Amino acid sequence: MKVVIIGASYAGVAAALEVRKRYDNAEIILLEKQSTLGYIPNGLHLYWENKISDLNAAYFITKEQLERQDIHCCLEASVEKMNTVNKTVIYLWRGKEELITYDKLIIAMGSSQLSQKISGSDGESVLKYKRHPEAVAALAKMETSKSITIIGAGPVGVEAAYLLSKQQKKVTLIESMNYVLFKYFDKEMIQPVQDRMIEMGINLRLNQTVSAIEADQPVTVRFGNETVTSDAVILGVNVRPNLSFLDEYIQLHMDQTIAVDRYMRTSVEDIFAVGDCIQLAYGDGDETEYIPLVNNAVRTGIVAAANLIQPEMAFKGSLRTIGTYLFGYYIASTGMTEAESVFSGHTVKTYRQEVRLTSLPDADTVTIKWIYDADSQILLGAQLISTSNILEKINTLALAIQTNQTLEDLQQKEYFFNPSFSQMISATNFVSWSEVRDDGNEN
């Protein structure tokens, strides 16, 4: 079996490794447009955090490691077109067109930071750094810039604002919604972070939609009737895949992502799509949305590899689970937010509480927001914020949501207890679930 994988970031690499694990005799070829593979998309942030000493260290795997597992890597291979009838892919390599056939094809092209709605967003002064060459160029530009405008207050934009403010840069952050990180948190939960951002000098411009970027020096960003000028601009808006090479038989969504089922199968037999190329089922429902997160890329790559011969492993859906440290707070979220629950079809209740992390008198606290079904008491979402590191706890809550745990189930979960170490984020020890049911806000 000859398996060709287009793209060698997290999704493509995960798929290749899983194919090798399952099929000893498979011929596996990775086609990657860049001159290297395995670059960590937020490598520049790791450098700014002093987690790595050089951008060349921002790799999660190397070509040599893959080839030791008999996975052939063809770098600087830019896919031009494909023919799903003849099972061929044409790519440009070293200045000439090459043709490769396949038995199974996995499309894992990844995505790019781009915007079709903002005029001038492809200019040289507009920095994007998902890939290594972009990150090198962005780092050089940032080191000589005193002021930076960031467009988009999602995880990338807010994290960049935090790290640049620590470098004494003058930062303006522009967001079209009325608060930051709106996909992952409700407004009152993220408010402490937002307040701290303003305290630290971030020029936060909410409810503003950027229309144009004029790439002079300084760079001018236009939104509404206002403008802001700075030395550089970071585009932190949603990433999008570039899939111009697909032929007409591959079915797409309206946003031009590839339509797949829960087995990562496309509309064409023997062709799979994974990672940032696709929409994903949200939770266990039928609705899909674009959720470009690394954990989803890895999971979908594994699922596609498991289903090459026949459907064996269904993707269990994404809960948009994230966790990070920003402006003095550890924040984490999984599952449904209260803001989006009105579109869910559930009758939802919510409950906020503050919990001491240990039994010690000087213990820090964590604020928790529980979102749950009013009738069944099944947990649907959770948000955490604390000055202490509680990030790993979100994994437990994500698993609880994925396995349809009720509030009573959570109350009965067994955890070890040591007064010095146990982080007691379960509401069991602090408030009865009957109080939650009686006092929760209902949507």
Please write the tens of the pLDDT for every residue from 292-344: 889 999 999 999 999 999 999 999 989 999 999 999 999 999 999 999 888 77
DSSP 8: -
pLDDT (average), residues 146-174: 95
Confidence bin at 429 (pLDDT 50/70/90): very low
φ, ψ for residue 24, nearest 5 deg: -60, -35
25/308 Cα distance (integer angstroms): 14
Q: How far out from the chain centre does Cα 261 lie?
A: 20
**β-strand partners of 205:** 174
Torsion angle, alpha carbons of 196, 197, 198, 200, to 10: 80
Burial of 22 (0-12, 13-18, 19+ CB in 10 A): middle
pLDDT (average), residues 339-352: 86
384/349 Cα distance (integer angstroms): 17
**Please, are residues 186 and 369 in contact by the beta-carbon 8 Å criterion?**
yes
- Greater confidence (60 vs 287) lies with 60
pLDDT at 428: 42
Confidence bin at 354 (pLDDT 50/70/90): confident
Query: To 5 degrees, how large is the angle CA 50–CA 55–CA 56?
Result: 130
Torsion angle, alpha carbons of 167, 172, 173, 175, to 10: 180
For 291, 298, 309, 349, 428, the CA distances from 276, given in Å and listed in that order, are 8, 10, 23, 32, 38
pLDDT at 431: 40
What is the pTM (predicted TM-score) of this model? 0.89
Q: What is the mean pLDDT of the chain?
A: 89
333/184 Cα distance (integer angstroms): 6
314/287 Cα distance (integer angstroms): 15
User: What radius of gyration, in Å, describes the C-alpha atoms of the chain?
Assistant: 23
pLDDT (average), residues 256-280: 95
42-84 pLDDT tens trace: 899 999 999 999 999 999 999 999 999 999 999 999 999 999 9
**β-strand partners of 354:** 367
pLDDT at 154: 92
Confidence bin at 150 (pLDDT 50/70/90): very high
Coil, helix or strand at residue 245: coil
Q: Is it the case that residue 442 has pLDDT exceeding 70?
A: no
pLDDT (average), residues 346-370: 81
pLDDT over 70 percentage in the chain: 91
| Neighbouring C-beta atoms of residue 379, cutoff 10 Å | 25
Confidence bin at 423 (pLDDT 50/70/90): low
211/358 Cα distance (integer angstroms): 49
pLDDT at 119: 82
CB proximity list for 422: less than 8 A, separation 6 or greater = 358, 359, 415, 416
Q: Is it the case that residue 356 has pLDDT exceeding 80?
A: no
> Exposed e or buried b for every residue in 166-181, given b needs 16+ CB within 10 A?
eeebbbbbbbbbebbb
| Neighbouring C-beta atoms of residue 409, cutoff 10 Å | 14
Residue written as tokens 């064996």? 312
pLDDT over 90 percentage in the chain: 70
- How many CA within 13 A on the CB side of residue 52? 14
pLDDT at 128: 84
- Greater confidence (373 vs 437) lies with 373
185-198 pLDDT tens trace: 999 999 999 999 99
Q: Is it the case that residue 100 has pLDDT exceeding 60?
A: yes
For 212, 312, 384, the CA distances from 369, given in Å and listed in that order, are 38, 36, 7
Structure tokens, 340: 């989006």
Residue written as tokens 């079996």? 1
**Please, are residues 90 and 98 in contact by the beta-carbon 8 Å criterion?**
yes
pLDDT (average), residues 232-260: 89
Worst-scoring range by mean pLDDT, 148-152, 218-222, 282-286, 320-324?
Answer: 282-286
Confidence bin at 361 (pLDDT 50/70/90): low
pLDDT at 215: 77
